[in-house]
Amino acid sequence: MAEQKMSRTALTAMVVGGMVGAGIFSLPRTFANATGPMGAVIAWLIAGTGMYMLASVFQALAERRPDIDAVAY
């Protein structure tokens, strides 16, 4: 099996993605400190609604176009 190497750009993108992804875990504390408990609940409701809408769009796309897959050629 041939060994595949990653480019410097791909490695940089992985590091930046990891740092941004780790920042997600500190958001609830930041929301609560900045807005209080009620503001944090409202922010989570807005974010949850957005995620539900995004999931609904992907579900509708999968139902309408089942021939599309995630494989890039």
Q: What are 16-30's pLDDT values in tens digits?
A: 888 887 777 777 777
**Count of domains forming the chain:** 1
pLDDT for residue 72: 61
Contacts of 61 (CB under 8 A, 6+ apart): 68
Range of the domain at 43: 27-65
In the structure, what pLDDT confidence band is assigned to residue 32 with cuts at 50, 70 and 90? confident
Could you tell me if residue 6 is inside a domain? no
Does the structure show a pLDDT above 80 at 1? Answer: no
Asked, for residue 11, whether it belongs to a domain, the answer is: no
Q: pLDDT grade, residue 59 (50/70/90)?
A: very high
21 inside domain:
no
Instruction: Residue count of the chain, please give it.
Output: 73
Contact 40, 31 (CB under 8 A): yes
pLDDT of residue 37: 83
Which residue did the predictor score with more confidence, 72 or 5? 5
Contacts 24+ apart (CB under 8 A), 64-72: none
